[in-house]
Each structure stands twice: as C-alpha cells, then as structure tokens.
C-alpha cells in the first residue's frame, strides 16, 4: 500500500500509522504507532526515510526538508476515538483543525495567529472551545455571518 500526498509518498510495510496532509498546510505529518513505513519524496527519487515506531516525521513542502522527532503517538491518533489533541500549536494551525472538526470558517487577525495552544477536545462544543481560548490568551471571537473572526483584545 502506498499513500500518496502532494510531495511525499508513504509506503506501508505492515503497520499502524497516521498521515496528516491537508493541501492548505505547508507540511505533511506522518506518525508511526507500530510497524514500519518508508517515506519517499515524489520529486527527489534518491530520498528515502524509514520511520520507526514512536516517531513523527514532518515534511516541509516549501523547503523540501524532513524533520523527525520522538512523540507520544496517542496525541496524533486519538482522533479515531473522537478526541482532538492540540499540542503547542499556533492558532493558525489550531483553527484549521477546528474548521475541519466543526465545519466552521475562521478569519484571524495577524496579531493572534502565532498564539500557541495545548488542549484536548472530547465532546466540547465549538463555543466552549472558543471560551477556553479567550480565557487563556488575549483574543476575542466575533461572529460575522457564518464566519468567526478572532482578534486581539490588546
């Protein structure tokens, strides 16, 4: 089995893994729980990396660089149980995940896009998540039609 992303191919060699490859993101993430996957760059045929269990590979689409780190894989695969883990992510990335989960469009002021968040979503409503974010960072959510605008309160 081969999972094809824009710039990266993930060759599955009997395993359990997660691939996050959204076109609007500047990166592709692959997390390996168990088994083996081989990462291949579709443009650079000589590129190959064999991911080990417990590793996160993050491929930057812009500069074509791969970084690998050891992680708690449950934080990346818990979506299968309806749990969304946000770990030290900028608001710009957080809202992309919220847009997917809640089918809600966001617009961010540039002053707030780099605020970082760590939290877990289980059954919370979008309103509860926004209230939490407003409590832990200086942002204000404003509903404008079917879009939520996140602005700085400073």
Work out the pLDDT band at 14, boundaries 50, 70, 90: low
What's residue 131's pLDDT? 93
**Residue extents of the structural domains in the chain:** 2-76, 82-152
pTM beyond cutoff 0.75: no
DSSP annotation of 80:
G
CA–CA separation, 29 and 21 (whole Å): 7
Looking up tokens 């926004």 gives 130
What pLDDT, on a 0 to 100 scale, did the predictor assign at position 48?
80
* 113 or 5, which is more confident: 113
| CB-CB contact of 38 with 27 (8 Å) | no
Fold of 2-76: Jelly Rolls (2.60.120)
More confidently predicted of 154 and 137: 137
Lowest mean pLDDT among 25-34, 39-48, 119-128: 39-48
User: What distance in Å separates the CA atoms of residue 12 and residue 3, rounded to the nearest whole number?
Assistant: 8
Instruction: Give me the count of residues in the chain.
Output: 154
Structure tokens at 44: 């650079």
Residues 124, 109: Cα–Cα separation, whole Å: 24
82-152: which CATH number, 3.40.225.10, 3.55.50.30, 3.40.50.10310, 3.30.200.20? 3.55.50.30
Tokens 């996140």 appear where? 150
- Main-chain phi, psi angles of 49, to 5 degrees: -140, 130
Please give the average per-residue pLDDT across 27-47, as a whole number.
77
Is residue 148 predicted with pLDDT exceeding 70? Answer: yes
CA dist 136 and 127 (Å) reads: 15
Q: Tell the burial category of 51 from Cβ atoms under 10 Å away from its Cβ (0-12, 13-18, 19+).
A: buried
| pLDDT digit string, tens, across residues 62-114 | 888 888 989 877 777 666 677 788 888 899 988 988 988 889 999 999 999 88
């Amino acid at each position: 089995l081969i999972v094809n992303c824009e710039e990266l191919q993930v060759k599955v060699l009997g395993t359990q893994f997660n691939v996050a490859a959204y076109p609007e993101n500047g990166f592709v993430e692959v997390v390996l729980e168990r088994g083996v996957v081989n990462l291949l760059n579709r443009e650079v045929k000589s590129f190959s990396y064999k991911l080990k269990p417990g590793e996160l590979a993050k491929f930057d689409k812009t500069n074509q660089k791969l970084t690998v780190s050891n992680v708690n894989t449950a934080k990346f695969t818990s979506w299968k149980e309806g749990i969304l883990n946000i770990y030290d992510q900028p608001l710009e990335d957080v809202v992309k995940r919220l847009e997917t989960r809640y089918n809600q469009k966001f617009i961010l002021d540039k002053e707030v896009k780099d605020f970082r968040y760590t939290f877990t979503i289980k059954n919370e409503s979008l309103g509860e998540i926004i209230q939490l974010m407003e409590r832990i960072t200086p942002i204000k959510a404003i509903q404008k039609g079917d879009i939520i605008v996140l602005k700085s309160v400073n």
